[in-house]
Structure 1
Amino acid sequence: MVEKQNCHDKKCFIHGHVKVRGRTLKGTVIKKDISKTATITFPRFYYLPKYERYEKRRTKLKVHNPKCIDAKIGDIVEIKETRSLSKTKHFTITKIIK
């Protein structure tokens, strides 16, 4: 899963004081910031009652990218919900799938 490293990150779910709970999602990393933040996207289906059909939409989320995991752009990752880590971050990357 994750190698034993000392990442000294208070917001890391392995080495810090943050517990994961709630929803688990899979998505693709499309953007990575220096400040341990990544943006992921995942598809979802939205129902249109007028046409009685579904359309494909994308959801973008800001997630915490711990130093011990360090996901790159293009990686498919699993994310889990945590407490609020900042104004826009409520999820953290738990593992890299591909």
Structure 2
Amino acid sequence: MIYLAGLFQSPDKVCDDPTCPFHGSIRVRGRILKGVVISDKMQRTVTVRVDYVKYDQKYKRYEKRFSKIKAHNPPCINAKVGDIVYIGETRPISKTVHFVVCQIERQKS
């Protein structure tokens, strides 16, 4: 798609998934997050751990926190456990999935 051309490289593999941001009809809009895949046991879905910091007003310090986000994993990208990935916000794909994997930054060695 044109709107992802400046942000991410299109994968070499071609898929026929309708919810793929490169070969399907789903649009990526909103937040783009970076995280680590911690589970890939679901079909075409991965769980991504996104780390962030929150400021504690009382102690005037930052604390580390994390979120676990479920994201659609298109067959042309096929992220595995341990991969560092970029996920983009989309329309709701299912009850709990509102993100899609856009690119693998680094694969687990």
Q: Is this a same-fold pair by TM over 0.5?
A: yes
Identify unmatched segments of 5+ residues in structure 1: none
1-side partners of 2:42 and 2:69: how far apart? Answer: 16
Task: Show the counterpart of 2:76.
Answer: 68
Seq. identity, %: 49
Task: Show the counterpart of 1:81.
Answer: 89
Q: Tell me if 1:18 matches 2:62.
A: no
Q: Tell me if 1:51 matches 2:62.
A: no
Moved over 6 A (4+): none
Greater mean deviation of Cα atoms: 56-65 or 43-52: 43-52
The SS at the match of 1:39 is strand
Task: Show the counterpart of 2:4.
Answer: none
Q: Deviations over 1:19-53 (max 9, x none)?
A: 11111111000000241000001211112222111
Q: 1:96 deviation in Å?
A: 0.5
Equivalenced residues, count: 97
Normalising by the residue count of structure 2, what TM-score does the alignment of the two structures yield? 0.83
Normalising by the residue count of structure 1, what TM-score does the alignment of the two structures yield? 0.92
Identify unmatched segments of 5+ residues in structure 2: 1-8
Q: 1:14 deviation in Å?
A: 1.4
